[in-house]
Every structure is written in C-alpha cells, then in structure tokens.
C-alpha cells in the first residue's frame, strides 16, 4: 500500500523551488495558486532568505502550493492517483494539501484557507511571546511528565524519541533549566506555540470561513492528525483541519494507522525529508521516497506503481460506503442493526480498541444495501462496514 504525505512548517529551505520553477507548466500552475493566495510564492520559494520564509503567513501557503502543484507533476492525470494511493496524510498545515489531494476541497479553497490560517496564526503568535522546543530522546513518560510539570503542551508527538513542547518563552526557559533525563532539547525556529491554546483566536477565524466552504467526501483514505483515525466524511475532514490549529499533532498515531493499514511505501511531497526520516525510524521495513527535485519524478512514479493499491473508497452515484476509522472490534448499534433506512447522521456502531472507542455514523444516511461486517468482527482502518443507497436515487 502507498501513502502520500505532505510536510508541515519548517520543511522549507531557501531556494528549494528553483529546479521546479524551471518547468514552464509547474511555474504557470504555481503562479495561479500564488494569485489566489495573494503572495509572490515563486519569489519566496526561489529567492527569499531563511528568515523571510520562516514567517508563518508565508511559509504555510508556500508549502501547500508546492505540494499541490508537485502532485500534478507526479500524477499528470489526477484520476490515475486514486488507482494507486491507499491513503494520504499531512503534518500540521500539510493536512490542507492532503485534503485537497483527496478531493475534499479544491486547490483554490485550500489556498484561501491556508492564507487565512497563516495570517491568523501569525496574529495569535504576536499576542504573547511563545515558542516550541523539540525534545529528542529520553523516556516517553518522563518527557511528557516534564512537559506537563512546566505547564507546556506536547504540541507535536512525532513518534519514538521526538516530542515537541510548546508554550510561553518563560515556560520553555524553565523547561530548559530542568530537562528530562537523557533527552536533548532543540529550540525550533518558529513564530509561536502552534497547536496549543495560544492559537484559539485563529481557530475562531478559520471556523467562520469554513462555514462557507463546500466539501466532498474523500476519494481516498485521509488519516487525521487529531487521533490517527481514517476520516471518510468531507465535513469532518474540514472541521478537523480547523480545530487542529489549537490541538496537538499526533503524528505518532498517524504512523500507527499506516502500520495497521499495511503500508509498504511512503512518498513525501516536496520539500521532502522530514516525514520520511521519521518513518524510517518508526516503521521498520517500510520503503520511503523523499521527492525533493523534479529530476526524481520518473523514479517517484515507479515507486508509486510498485506500492500502489486503490483505497476502494471512491464514491459512485448509486451507493455509498461507510468505513472504519481505526483498527479494533466492531459493535453494531441496536438502532441500526435491523433498520432498512438510516437518517443522515445515524450512529451505526462503534469501534473498540485498546486505546479508545470510536462512534461510527452514516453521515449522509440512505437505504441499507448490505452490511459488510458482523457484530464482533475485527476491522482495520478504512475497511468498508456498510453499503448504503442514497435516498431519492434511482
């Protein structure tokens, strides 16, 4: 199985777009998304210095635009992607690129959302001096206890040996004076405490805009930063993107879901390297491909063909599939077990795992065609549970 991942803020480096912009088609598409964003993103990706592209309102649109246009280079016929890509995921702002790649939102909607996200987060960061520090190594429980002791938030849990603490500069200074045992602290060059309560004003702004965004259900599995669950409802994908601004990134749980799905290959969109590096440490035996420059495209397509497998989540006009968000045991809800027609939003059951219990709803409702699992069955992330015929369809 192939998973495509999109990196988050901090992956950008000065001049990383130079070789990509030599292709006139890439440059023209990039110029279009730059126009939507209202920023000269080609300048920032090719000529600006590190300090400039570190700015939140620049870095975020730059990353999303790069991922979206590079995806069209990788899959010149976009429909072909859904015969190969088993799932998509994005780290932090990369979730917006992943959502557009799964056709939940359009590229233009993605650029408006990321433009407003970047500006709102920059404004929220200016209210109180805050920052982030990577904690490398150390015992996981000791690290989390030390973060909590100093009133910080584990804003990014990126997997074994890498947790990012975020909070005020005073809290981070106290944390640095009393670090967890056997851990190394690395202050990050970011403008604020992203994915913490300090970003709540940005959540409110984006939530207001999101009310006017039309969405579609994903064409492939979307793995959410919030909890590693597979999301198959477009409205839920968008709501999670909004709430994620002030919520921790649980990339460790995303990696667990990839393992549960049986991933064999992970390809990271440019500017690549960060997420494939994490995957190499966390998912032993899984092949990775960091797409950094256009001269790798032929090899990248071969990598996709090698690991490609359709997710099976493609919707049709005649029926819909409800899928499992996680690995666990399926328990059917009494009100759904014998129903012929399910109203939109009906709870059909829940998935119970060692970690938690997840309610499953039929977001659109419809007439029950067939149950694809039985009560008590073990299921995997993205596994079809129920087939529905839309009410009013022919």
**What residues are annotated to the active site?**
92, 195
Taking the C-alpha atoms of residue 61 and residue 261, their distance in angstroms, rounded to an integer, is: 30
Contacts of 170 (CB under 8 A, 6+ apart): none
DSSP state of 38: T
Strand order through the sheet with 162-168: 153-157, 162-168, 130-137, 183-187
Question: Are 12 and 49 a contacting pair, CB within 8 Å?
Answer: no
How many other CB atoms sit within 10 Å of the CB of residue 305? Answer: 11
Contacts of 129 (CB under 8 A, 6+ apart): 168, 169
Taking the C-alpha atoms of residue 96 and residue 64, their distance in angstroms, rounded to an integer, is: 7
What Å distances lie between residue 75 and 28, 81, 83, 207, 321, CA to CA?
17, 6, 11, 32, 26
The alpha carbon dihedral of 116, 254, 147, 10 has a sign of negative
Question: Pick from 361, 346, 348, 351: which is nearest to 330 by CA?
Answer: 351
Question: Pick from 173, 170, 179: which is nearest to 137 by CA?
Answer: 179
């Amino acid at each position: 199985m192939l998973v495509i991942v999109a990196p988050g803020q901090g992956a950008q480096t000065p001049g990383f777009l130079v070789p990509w912009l030599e292709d006139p088609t890439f440059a023209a598409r990039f110029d279009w998304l730059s126009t939507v964003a209202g920023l000269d993103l080609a300048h920032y990706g090719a000529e600006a210095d590190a300090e400039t592209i570190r700015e939140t309102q620049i870095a975020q649109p730059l990353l999303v635009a790069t991922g979206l246009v590079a995806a069209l280079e990788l899959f010149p016929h976009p429909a072909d992607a859904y015969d190969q890509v088993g799932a998509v995921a994005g780290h932090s702002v990369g979730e917006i690129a992943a959502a557009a790649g799964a056709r939940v939102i359009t590229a233009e909607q993605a650029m408006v959302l990321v433009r407003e996200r970047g500006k709102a987060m920059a404004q929220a960061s200016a209210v109180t001096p805050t920052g982030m520090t990577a904690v490398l190594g150390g015992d996981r429980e000791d690290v989390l206890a030390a973060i909590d002791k100093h009133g910080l938030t584990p804003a990014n849990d990126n997997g074994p040996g890498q947790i990012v603490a975020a909070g005020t500069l005073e809290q981070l200074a106290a944390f640095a004076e009393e670090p967890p045992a056997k851990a190394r602290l690395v202050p990050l060059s970011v403008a604020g405490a992203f994915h913490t309560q300090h970003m709540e004003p940005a959540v409110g702004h984006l939530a207001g805009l999101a009310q006017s965004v039309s969405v579609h259900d994903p064409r492939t599995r979307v793995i959410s930063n919030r909890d590693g669950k597979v999301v198959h409802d477009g409205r839920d994908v968008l709501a999670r993107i909004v709430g994620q601004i002030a919520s921790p990134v649980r990339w460790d749980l995303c990696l667990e879901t990839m393992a549960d799905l049986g991933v064999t290959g992970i390809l990271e969109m440019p500017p690549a390297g960060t997420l494939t590096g994490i995957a190499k440490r966390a998912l032993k035996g899984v092949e990775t491909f960091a797409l950094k420059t256009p001269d790798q495209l032929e090899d990248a397509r071969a990598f996709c063909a090698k690991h490609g497998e359709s997710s099976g989540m493609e919707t049709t006009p005649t029926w819909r599939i409800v899928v499992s968000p996680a690995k666990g045991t399926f328990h059917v809800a009494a009100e759904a077990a014998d129903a012929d027609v399910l109203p939109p939003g009906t709870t059909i059951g829940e998935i119970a795992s060692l970690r938690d219990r997840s309610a499953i709803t039929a977001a659109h409702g419809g007439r029950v065609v067939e149950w694809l699992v039985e009560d008590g069955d073990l299921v995997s992330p993205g596994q079809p549970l129920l087939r529905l015929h839309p009410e009013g369809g022919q």
